[in-house]
Amino acid sequence: MRSKKQRKETSFGNDFFTYLVDKDPVTYSEAISFFDSLFWKEAIKFEIDSILQNQTWEIVDLSPGAKSIGCK
């Protein structure tokens, strides 16, 4: 059953775009082999720049015997 609530369009300005993707790439190799690889490369760069600028984390050597955790 569909909601009967009226939907409102929200505007975030003229320079805001949304993209609907059926299946996001999981690995870097997949991202750069997609037909829109330039978009993914730009998104990756933007995300890494944001992480570095906000000092969210820092890169360190993995301690001997420790296991790394993955992320998408």
- Over the stretch 9-20, which tens digit does the pLDDT of each residue have? 666 777 776 666
Provide the whole-model pTM.
Answer: 0.49
Alpha-carbon torsion 47, 51, 56, 60, what sign?
Answer: positive
Residue 23 in contact with residue 29, Cβ under 8 Å? no
**Residue 42: what pLDDT?**
92
pLDDT, greater one: 72 or 31: 31
Residue extents of the structural domains in the chain = 17-56
Q: And the tokens for 47?
A: 């995300």
How many angstroms separate the CA atoms of 48 and 54, rounded? Answer: 10
- Over the stretch 14-51, which tens digit does the pLDDT of each residue have? 777 666 656 778 888 988 898 889 988 998 899 889 98
pLDDT, greater one: 7 or 54: 54
